[in-house]
Chain A
Amino acid sequence: MNITKTVVDNTVTLTLVGRLDTVTSTMLSTELDIVFAGGNPNLIFNLKELDYISSAGLRVFLTAQKKVKASGNEMKITGANESVKEIFEVTGFAGIMNIE
């Protein structure tokens, strides 16, 4: 998986490309640790080019959302394809996250 980070004002956008699974979720976790170490921004995950997500990836999103909300900011997920959206649906994440 490739992760690209862009920062505009107090919003960090992470664009994920490829697969977010047991192995690559640790990469995303590490990247988020770096983001949170630098402050408490709004967070956007751009999933337009993410082909696959497993529960390991969802747990990383859940942890990130808890941290963002705790600091009073917003987290948003954008561009998910049908397969990834289906996983948000079956796990109930569609109801607890801001998914566009």
Chain B
Amino acid sequence: MISVQNLSKKFGELVVLKDINAQIKQGEVISIIGPSGTGKSTFLRCLNLLEVPSGGNIIIDGNDILAKDANVPKLRQKMGMVFQSFNLYAHLSVLDNLTLGPVKLLGKSKTEAEAKAAELLKMVGLLDKRDSFPDELSGGQKQRVAIARCLAMEPEIILFDEPTSALDPTMVSEVLAVIRRLAKEGMTMAIVTHEMDFARDVSNRVFYMDEGLIYEEGTPDQIFDNPQKEKTRAFINRIRSFSFKIESPDYDLYSMNAEIEAFCEKHVLPRKMRHNALLLVEELLALYDLQQSQVELTLAYSEKQDRLELVLESTGEAFNPLDSGNAPDEIGLNIIAGLSENVEYYRLEEQNHLSLTIKIQ
């Protein structure tokens, strides 16, 4: 239905979309997730030419909408868009908001448009608000009207740009319920959302966007349970990390500890986890020959799993600090073994990697 090839978008020198390639098939529900500022909304806005792409092709049912001779208004009619901020006409009643487009652009009669509008308002649970004005509605009601207005134009696909971001938490579910219903009825949709549970439930496929690309895509199970790429994993598991480089044996232990403590405090980690992190860092660093190699340590906290991972990457010869021959005695190794689990060592690209999970029990 929609094929996007090598789509790019720049704002001046700022490259927002680098090279987007995607297919959206009829009846699919695609959720687009990712950190803020990674081009999710820009991608949607490029699809219906609210932003003019800097390069690439967007092919809808075999027609390239970026071709010079493309009938853009006609192609655009196939796509409805629902915005974060509703974009209803404040001076028109709910009913008039729904009938304006069909009468002016689709050439429907007023009676016909009103009948369809009433049907759609009933579907979104707002028929009794047909004569109200947008200012008289709650945020959730406004967004449901916006969805009904979009449907009134009989689109083949609806693009949702963060449809619940501007809503109070109490109003999110009423809007999501309407979108779920559309999904069940087979409407093709692309939804930019931060509602992860919703994205997981409602989608056939999920696009994770980062670095101006569709960084990873897959089924909800693949993306949410088994993401393959590092940034996807960090985003899905809501991982926050902190890194510190040790470049000399005379490194400042207390300055490093202060930064670790600040990181732990910022993420409200339990006292015990904080204590064990400090101790493991000290014990592990004591095993390295810091004259010969530099060590970068990273603490990565997964909010979702409530888990703190410690990773040490070192330069130099192959070296697993936990091999007992590398330690002066067993005392430090016993502390490390007692306070950590899931210990893993591997060597990759001339670097030693040691990772472990910090126990809190």
Contacts and interface: CB of A to CB of B under 8 A. Distances in A.
A23 B332 contact: no
* Chain A CB within 10 Å, residue with most, of B275, B331, B334, B337: B331
B11 interface: no
B273 to A, nearest CB: 12
A62 to B, nearest CB: 8
B335 A91 contact: yes
B331 A55 contact: yes
A55 B275 contact: no
A70 interface: no
A2 to B, nearest CB: 15
Interface stretch (B46-54, B186-194, B278-286): B278-286
A87 interface: yes
A62 B331 CA distance: 11
5 contacts: A52-B278, A55-B286, A56-B282, A90-B337, A90-B339
* Chain B CB within 10 Å, residue with most, of A54, A62, A86, A89: A54
A74 interface: no
Interface string B321-350: 000000001111011011100000000000
A60 B182 CA distance: 70
B184 interface: no
Contacts of B335: 54-55, 87, 90-91
A89 B334 CA distance: 10
B275 A52 contact: yes
A84 to B, nearest CB: 10
Interface string B256-272: 00000000000000001
B279 A90 contact: no
Nearest to B337: A90
Interface string A1-42: 000000000000000000001110000000000000000000
A12 B286 CA distance: 31
B338 A54 contact: no
A69 B286 CA distance: 28
B103 to A, nearest CB: 73
Interface string B298-314: 00000000000000000
B286 A59 contact: no
Contacts of A83: 272, 275
A89 B332 CA distance: 13
B338 to A, nearest CB: 3
A92 interface: yes
A35 B339 CA distance: 33
A97 interface: no
A54 B339 contact: no
A72 B354 CA distance: 44
A91 B279 CA distance: 13
Nearest to A93: B331
Contacts of B254: 23
A55 B283 CA distance: 7
Given A23-B254, A92-B334, 17 more contacts: A21-B282, A55-B329, A55-B331, A55-B335, A56-B286, A58-B331, A59-B329, A59-B331, A62-B331, A83-B275, A89-B338, A90-B334, A90-B335, A90-B338, A91-B330, A91-B331, A91-B338
